[in-house]
Structure 1
Amino acid sequence: MINGAWPLRPLGELFEIGAGKTMSVAARTGDDKTPFLRTSNVLWDEIDLTAVDEMAIPAHERQEKLLAPGDLLVCEGGEIGRAAIWNGEVKTMSFQNHLHRLRSIADNVEPRFYVYFLQSGFTQLGIFEGAGNKTTIPNLSRNRLAALDVPHPAIDEQQDIVCALARVREAIKIHDRCLASAQDLKRARMRTLFTRGLRDEPQKETEIGPVPKSWDVAAIGDVARNTQYGLSVRGQESGAYPILRMNCQEDGAVHYRNLQFVDLDSETYEVFRLKPGDLLFNRTNSIELVGRMAIVEDDRPAVFASYLVRLTVDQERCLPPFLNYFMNWPATQDEIKKLASRAVGQANINASKLRTVLFPLPPTVDEQREIIAVLDAIDSKIGLHKRKRAVLDELFKSLLHKLMTGEIRVGDLDLSVLDFSKVAEVAA
């Protein structure tokens, strides 16, 4: 499966493989602690420094356990083989014993090429199946890692492959950053829109905090025409009608994906058939997921499962998208979760509690429509970045596979479309 033109060498002939520091009571409680990386910090071709632990390392061991820029880190456990390069993001960093540190011992080695090869080998090609020890917790021992046969093309080819794949990865990161910025903008705009509106009018203090003076504070029950629990039937792989479940909700929208189906008589179908403008409220699940809402936007045939509540509202008073946006505002979600009754691993908010939720209600649907338009525009930008990011992710996977198998060569590629200035312009 690997490019047949490349010679193979054991990984241990190309890299010195070092062991990390084992966490112990002394390491946990000692003084003069050093930050260290766990397997959770090492993603594919990325070091995540969001949460970094510390341990005390004796002075005589410390130098040996520190990372240097260019070190290749490989996960021994967890998702075995997952690898990334330490680029010296902070001055002092060590690593735990569940990570292997590979430091090149030859001049003709580009460490990041081996990150990409390991990613392809473990996630695409299946050439390292069985590399982990068969223990209770699968792991990749030092000896097994050193014995892995890996390709060793000329250094120029290694560097060209790294450059090509890194260009796609950088384009992905640009869209990730722009997506995060757009999501931050949406949260900030929601706070402004739901507390100050668009008319720059004076505010008044209410049970839910400040709102524009002309607005009301209503309970969902005041505008609800109906609240209805879904069907208590088990979905199947085929059937007459798709049944929407919790996994069909995301970011306030209904998605017809990973569907299950049910067979229903026509009368039951009509009772539970979803229509445009229906709001689906997730009434039970983990506390993180309970309370989410999504809006049905098209008229394709579908029904809904029992752990969802269908809410229909009086659209002369309240437009469904307006209420949907408010219900998915993070500040609202925090408050809704306080209504949940809780059991082990489960939270529940019934339809009666849903009807008591308070929300700010502009006096006219025209004002609601203007607020919806602002948030729709931001959602369009978020959706664009998600779609482009997904396309680039598929491009990376395809390119990784074809380069490592020799199906294509770097010289065959034209990645001018990934010029960073153009990507940044599209992403803005």
Structure 2
Amino acid sequence: MTKPLGELFAVAAGKTMSAAARSGENKVPFLRTSNVMWDEIDLSEVDEMAIPEQELAAKLVEPGDLLVCEGGEIGRAAIWEGGRTPISFQNHLHRLRPIADDVDPRFYVYFLQSAFTQLGLFEGAGNRTTIPNLSSGRLKALDVPHPPFLEQVAIADSLKYVQRARHLNARLIATTEELRAATMQRLFSQGLRGERLKETELGPVPESWDVSTINDVALQTQYGLSIRGQAEGAIPILRMNCQDDGRVRFRDLQYVDLDEATLSAFRLEDGDLLFNRTNSIEHVGRTAIFDGVKEAVFASYLVRLKVDTLRCLPRFLNYYMNRREVQQDIKRLASRAVGQANINATKLRTIAFPLPPSLNEQAEIIAILDALDRKLDLHRRKREVLDQLFKSLLYKLMTGEISVYDLDLSALPANDGSAA
């Protein structure tokens, strides 16, 4: 059974921002479209405006109100579950308040998400002749499913359970990333032997460590191939997009056919570091290590760095180069043009780093960081699984492909709702 949304909810418009509202006194916080995510209210940045007292009551949101975006990503919706009070909403949001007893607003958040992002049911609902928008009249006229109330609740509870598992996993990723960054800071400044520290241009380091430059340990810095890749060919050619968080990723590949001499000169080997020498400033300086599992060559945007493994283990240098603080320092070396930055091989060789003389200590530091990376990879793989599970369940529950009463979500991480 379907019903027009206007038969289930009272739809109200928010307050329009004006010069008077911006400069007036007794301001109240208000929600904008940028605050309303899918199934989530983001309160990291909340604006304020003055609303006349006689208008205020009609422009406030209450716990349980459903907020729907009129513009931007039209139809994006979330429930206001309480918090800062009083709080209002801008005119680019619609406030939906149930007028029927058999309505769970959470169900309609998820239905709108599926309808607008998966099913394309309301593609004509936005006025696409000017700025895409979802007017109050169009919103009220949307035909939406209206299953029995208990089924609405069960569907919303099931999807929320998966959402909580996703949020819990996101917190684990953030916590592990913070631990990894803090561990890097400690290892590269204090080492593992409990030595006394000395002050250097890089900050404190253990007394036995050196401050070296890449030039001190480099056996080779080599620019990549200036050749256009193709959709098919004998050899993958790695480009800027094949670097991620210090590792080479074989993704979105292009290929080249090379004679044996050229292939021999540019074939990557295990332990080679690839330095992104030219890109937008946020990407220039990225460094990734090649693990030698597959055959590949590299494009001219990249510099291959081979290091003397009798002095410096490549993975040690790669970890150091990918510290956030070091990446920021590297970007300061870049020559900048419009939309592009460049760090040539000569500047690359001037980069300084702390170097333990003991390869064993370098290897132990690598082992600690490798363990954290494995943990982080596990959480990220779980994120991919949970994201796909949510999308699949959202689609199947909203199309009736599966019944909510046939679901078994017991394998998901237990949560008490605090991660929501």
* TM-score normalised by length of structure 2: 0.95
- In the TM superposition, residue 419 of structure 1 has moved relative to its aligned partner by 5.1
Deviations 1:144-179 (Å, cap 9, x if unpaired)? 111111100011000000111111111111111111
Q: Secondary structure at the match of 2:126?
A: coil
For the aligned residue pairs, the C-alpha RMSD in angstroms reads: 1.9
Cα distance between partner residues in 2 of 1:221 and 1:159: 64
Cα distance between partner residues in 2 of 1:85 and 1:423: 15
Cα distance between partner residues in 2 of 1:288 and 1:398: 34
Contact 1:275–1:299 under 8 Å retained in 2: no
Contact 2:221–2:303 under 8 Å retained in 1: yes
1:94/1:241 CA distance change after superposition, 3 Å: farther
Cα distance between partner residues in 2 of 1:150 and 1:422: 31
Match for residue 311 of structure 2? Answer: 317
Contact 1:220–1:357 under 8 Å retained in 2: yes
Match for residue 144 of structure 1? Answer: 138
Name stretches of at least 5 consecutive residues in structure 1 with no aligned partner: 1-6
Match for residue 358 of structure 2? Answer: 364
Q: Secondary structure at the match of 2:364?
A: helix
Cα distance between partner residues in 1 of 2:37 and 2:381: 22
Q: Secondary structure at the match of 1:294?
A: strand
Q: Secondary structure at the match of 1:418?
A: coil
The counterpart of 1:226, out of the listed 220, 224, 248, is: 220
Contact 1:196–1:211 under 8 Å retained in 2: yes
- In the TM superposition, residue 423 of structure 1 has moved relative to its aligned partner by 12
- In the TM superposition, residue 135 of structure 1 has moved relative to its aligned partner by 2.9
Cα distance between partner residues in 2 of 1:419 and 1:209: 42
- In the TM superposition, residue 63 of structure 1 has moved relative to its aligned partner by 2.5
The counterpart of 1:198, out of the listed 192, 209, 224, is: 192
Residue 23 of structure 1 aligns to which amino acid in structure 2? Answer: M
Match for residue 45 of structure 1? Answer: 39
Contact 1:174–1:423 under 8 Å retained in 2: no
Cα distance between partner residues in 2 of 1:338 and 1:226: 23
Residue 373 of structure 1 aligns to which amino acid in structure 2? Answer: A
Match for residue 30 of structure 1? Answer: 24
Residue 18 of structure 1 aligns to which amino acid in structure 2? Answer: A
- In the TM superposition, residue 142 of structure 1 has moved relative to its aligned partner by 1.6
**Larger deviation, residues 139-148 vs 198-207:** 139-148
Contact 2:11–2:96 under 8 Å retained in 1: yes
The counterpart of 2:404, out of the listed 402, 407, 410, is: 410
Contact 2:165–2:415 under 8 Å retained in 1: no
* TM-score normalised by length of structure 1: 0.93
1:364/1:120 CA distance change after superposition, 3 Å: same
Contact 2:164–2:415 under 8 Å retained in 1: no
Match for residue 251 of structure 1? Answer: 245
Cα distance between partner residues in 2 of 1:41 and 1:234: 43
The counterpart of 1:331, out of the listed 300, 313, 325, is: 325
The counterpart of 2:178, out of the listed 179, 184, 190, is: 184
Deviations 1:266-294 (Å, cap 9, x if unpaired)? 32222222221111111222222211111
Cα distance between partner residues in 1 of 2:141 and 2:416: 43
Q: Secondary structure at the match of 2:411?
A: helix
Match for residue 3 of structure 1? Answer: none
Deviations 1:340-359 (Å, cap 9, x if unpaired)? 12222222211111111110
